Structure 1
C-alpha cells in the first residue's frame, strides 16, 4: 500500500474552532494527505465562529464547554451519527490527537474492529493542573494518559526530547517523531520592518523581548512577568512585544503596563511581528515542541527558554539561545540582559538559530507521519498486534 490507499479517521478535540499550533499542524497534515491521494475524515467539536476553515471533511461531534475556559470544548461521546459516518467511511487507520473522552471511545471503537491506531501528542496535559493549584492531580492524569497511549499501535511526538519523556513515562513501546515544519516565505529575517516597529512606539535602538502565543497562564505568563520586573529593576534597556490573544490578556497587560500588545496576528503580519523582535522569551514547560520557537529561529532570533521538552530539541544552549531551569527568574533575567546589552552575541545566536531552522520543511516532516501510518497498517496485516497493557 502507498498513501493513495489510506483512509484516515482523525479525531481531534480542537480542529479549527480555536487557533493554536497543534491544530494548524493537523490541518497542514490533512492537506498534505489529500494532495497525496489519501482519503480523510475529521471528527471534532465545532462552533458557529471557527477560527479558520478546516482542511478536509469535518464532522461535528457532541461537546460541552470547558468550565472556566469556555472557548474550549470537550467532545464527550461518540454519537450514533458519528458511528454511522465512520461505518460509511470505512477507515483503515485511526489517528487520535487528543486523549479526551471521544478519543477514548474512538480508540475502543478501532480496537473492536482490529483497526490500527496512531496517537499524536501535542501538549503535556499532565502539567496543566500545577497552574491552577491542583498539582496533586498530576500522577492521576499521567496514569490515565498511560492507559490511553498504551492501547495505541504507535504514538508520535513533535520532538526527540518529548519522545524520550514519553518513553521514560512508559506511555508506549513504539514512540516516533512527527516534528513541525516552517513556512520560510512567512518567517525569515527579511520580514523585519522598522517602520512598523516605530508605529508601535518602539525605538530603533530598543532591544525587543518577544512573547508569542495564546495568552493563558499555563504558558508561563507569571514567570515572564516576574523576569521582566527584574530587568526593569536593573534598569536594563528593553521593550516587550506580546503577540497573541487569550483569556489572560487583561491580567498580562496589568502586569506589564509598558509592554506593546498587538493582539492576534497571522500570515505575513505574524512574520513581520516575529521578525520585529530581537529575542524570544519562552518560559513555558507545557509545549511538546514549541512552534513559536521555530518561527522565531527562522526569523534569526535567539531564544531564552525553559529547559523543558520541546525547547531542548530546538535550542542549543549557548549557541542558538539559552536554556534555563524552569521558574528560575534571576537566571532568565541574566540571559535576557546579556542579549539586551550585547548586540554581537544576540546577532551571532540569531544567525545560528536561522541556520538550524532551515532543516524543517513541512513536506518532509509530514511524510514521516505518513510512513508511520503505512508501517502500522503493514504490521497489523502481518498479525503483529502492538505491545501494550492488557486492556480491551
Structure 2
C-alpha cells in the first residue's frame, strides 16, 4: 500500500473550496416549455448546481400533456411546484398564482441565502414580498420587452402602468440583471436602479454546422444549390414577420428557386401560410432536431424589434447561418455588419430588405460571414455567463450583510 508523505504537500497550490450557497430560483416558465427565458434559466440553474450550489427551483406545475414530453430533469435540484393558470395567447405556458404565505412558510423552514426571480408575474411578485418579509437578499431578471410588446397587443393605455409596475418590482430588488448594455442604458433612463449586464451563452457543440442534412433540405423542397432562408421563433405579431416576407419576396424576384422555412408555431401561422403558400412550416422543434433545422439554413432572417436578447440570433450564428437582423438586442451588440452578419438600422425596413438581397446574391460573402459568426458565437460560453450570474448573487448577499465594526483600540480616557 502506498503511503502519503505529507511533507510533499504544498498547501498554497490547493484550490480553495468553493463556498456553497443555498439558492432559491423562482420562474414562471421552464423546460419543456420552449422559449428563450425557459431555456436560458435551465442553463443557469444547471450551471449553478455544477458550481456546487444547492438550488431550489420554484415554478408552476405544467400541464400533463407537456410534462409527458419532458425529459428527465436534474434530480439534484429541489423542485417546488405551485399552482398555475394558462397564459392568454400562449396556451402552452402557465403563470403562477399568488403564493406569498406558502413561500414564507417554505423559506422559514429552509432559509435560502438569496432569492432570484426570473419573471415578474404573480408568482414572482409573491416571491419578492415573501423574501422582503423574511429580510432575504433578492435579485431579478429583466427578460421581456413589455413596453415594446404593447403596440402589437393594443396595450397602449396600459404601457405606463406596466412600466411603473416593472420599475417598482425591480427597484425593490438588490440587483437586476439585464442581457445587454443597450438595455441597461434604456432602463436606467426610465428610473431602474442597480442594473447589471449578464448576457446569454450558446451551446456551440449542439448548434453546429456539422448537423446540416441534405436529406432534411430535400424534404423542404430544396436542391443542393438552392438558397434556403429561414426563421426560428414564435409566429406572432411582435416578431415583425411582415418584414421577413417582404425580404423573401424581394429575393424571390431575383432567384425564383429560393426556399423559405419557418421553425416554430403561433397565432400567425395560418396568415403566413396564406401569404407564402410555398413556404415550409416545420412547427416547434427542440434539442438536436432544432439544431439540425438551423444548420440546414443558408440565411437566417430575424426581423424582431421586441427582444431583450434574442437567443435565436446566437444559435443561428453558432449553427453556421449567415444572419440578417435589425441593430437591436443581441444582434446589435454582437454583429458587425458585413463581417459576421448583416444589420439594418432599428426599424429601417427597407434597409433590412436591401441587406437580405445583398446576402442572398453573394454565396462567397455569405460563407465568409457565416464562418465569422460561428467564431463569435463560440466565445459565448455558458460557464462564463454562470460565473457572472453568480457574482451578482454574491454582491446582493454582501449588500444585505451588516458591516462589521471593529472595537476601538484606543485606551479609555
Fold agreement, TM-score > 0.5: yes
- SS at 2:168 equivalent: helix
Aligned partners of 1:287 and 1:299: how far apart in 2? 20
Do structure 1's residue 251 and structure 2's residue 266 form an aligned pair?
no
2:376 equivalent to 1:361: no
1:290 to 310, 318, 324: 310
User: 1:344 Cα shift?
Assistant: 1.7
Q: Does 1:300 align with 2:285?
A: no
Measured in 2, the distance between the counterparts of 1:189 and 1:345 equals 17
3-state SS in 2 of match to 1:147 = helix
1:19 matched residue in structure 2: 34
Paired position in structure 1 for 2:20: 5
Name the residue aligned to 1:38.
53
Distance in 1 separating the partners of 2:236 and 2:79: 27
List gaps (5 residues or longer) in structure 1.
385-392
Are the structure 2 counterparts of residues 115 and 74 from structure 1 closer, same or farther at C-alpha, using a change threshold of 3 Å?
same
1:328 aligns with 2:343: no
Show the counterpart of 1:201.
Answer: 221
* Aligned partner of residue 139 in structure 1, secondary structure: helix
In 2, Cα distance between equivalents of 1:80 and 1:108: 10
Query: Which stretch has the larger CA shift, 122-131 or 61-70?
Result: 61-70
Q: Is there any run of 5+ residues in structure 2 with no aligned partner, and where?
A: 1-15, 405-413
Following TM superposition, by how much is the alpha carbon of 1:2 offset from its aligned partner in structure 2, in angstroms?
7.6
Alignment of 1:378 onto 2:398 = yes
Counterpart contact for 2:298–2:321, Cα < 8 Å: yes
- Secondary structure, counterpart of 1:379 in structure 2: helix
Q: Which residue of 2 aligns with 1:156?
A: 177
CA distance, structure 1, for counterparts of residue 305 and residue 191 of structure 2? 20
Alignment CA distance shift 1:264-1:70 (3 Å): closer
**Aligned pair 1:93/2:108, yes or no?**
no
Contact 1:10–1:43 (8 Å) recurs in 2 = yes
- Conserved 8 A contact 1:339-1:346: yes
Q: Which of the numbers 72, 75, 82 marks the counterpart of 2:93? A: 72
1:123 is the counterpart of 2:144: yes
* Partners of 2:270 and 2:278 in 1: CA distance: 13
Q: Distance in 1 between matches of 2:234 and 2:198?
A: 22
Residue by residue over 1:269-310, the C-alpha shift from the partner in whole angstroms, topping out at 9 and shown as x without a partner, is 222211111111111122211111101111222211122223
The whole-number CA distance in structure 1 between the counterparts of 2:210 and 2:255 is 31
Q: Which of 294, 300, 309 in structure 2 is aligned with 1:280?
A: 300
Q: In the aligned structure 1, how far is the partner of 2:167 from the partner of 2:100?
A: 25
Residue of structure 1 in register with 2:135 after alignment: 114
Partner residue of 2:6? none
Q: Is the 8 A contact 2:104 2:130 kept in 1?
A: no
User: Which residue of 1 is the match for residue 212 of structure 2?
Assistant: 192
- Residue 387 of structure 1 is matched in structure 2 by none
CA radius of gyration, larger in: 2
The yes-or-no answer on 1:52 pairing with 2:70 is yes
- The equivalent residue for 1:62 is 83
Alpha-carbon distance between aligned partners in 2 of 1:193 and 1:70, rounded to the nearest angstrom: 32
Closer/same/farther in 2, CA of residues 326 and 135 from structure 1, 3 Å limit: farther
Q: Does 1:178 align with 2:198?
A: yes
The C-alpha deviation readout for 1:253-276, integer Å capped at 9, x for no partner, is 222211112222222222221111
Contact (CA 8 Å) 1:3, 1:33: kept in 2 or not? no
What is the DSSP-based 3-state SS (H/G/I as helix, E as strand, rest coil) of the residue aligned with 2:282?
strand
User: In the superposition, relative to structure 1, how do residues 2 and 381 fare at CA in structure 2: closer, same or farther (>3 Å)?
Assistant: farther
- What is the CA–CA distance in structure 2 between the aligned matches of 1:266 and 1:110, rounded to whole Å? 34
TM-score (norm 1): 0.90
Tell me the SS of whatever aligns to 2:304: coil
Q: Secondary structure at the match of 1:95?
A: strand
Aligned residues: 383
Conservation of the 8 A alpha-carbon contact between 2:59 and 2:81 = yes
- Per the alignment, in what secondary structure is the counterpart of residue 105 of structure 2? helix
State the SS of the aligned residue for 1:296: helix
- TM-score of the pair, normalised by structure 2: 0.86
CA contact (8 A) 1:3 1:370 kept: no
Q: Give yes or no for contact 1:182–1:361 (8 Å, CA) kept in 2.
A: yes
The equivalent of 1:390 in structure 2 is none
Evaluate the alpha carbon distance shift between residue 254 and residue 132 of structure 1 in structure 2; reply closer, same or farther with a 3 A threshold.
Answer: same
* C-alpha RMSD of the superposition: 2.3
Range moving further from structure 2, 5-14 or 72-81: 72-81
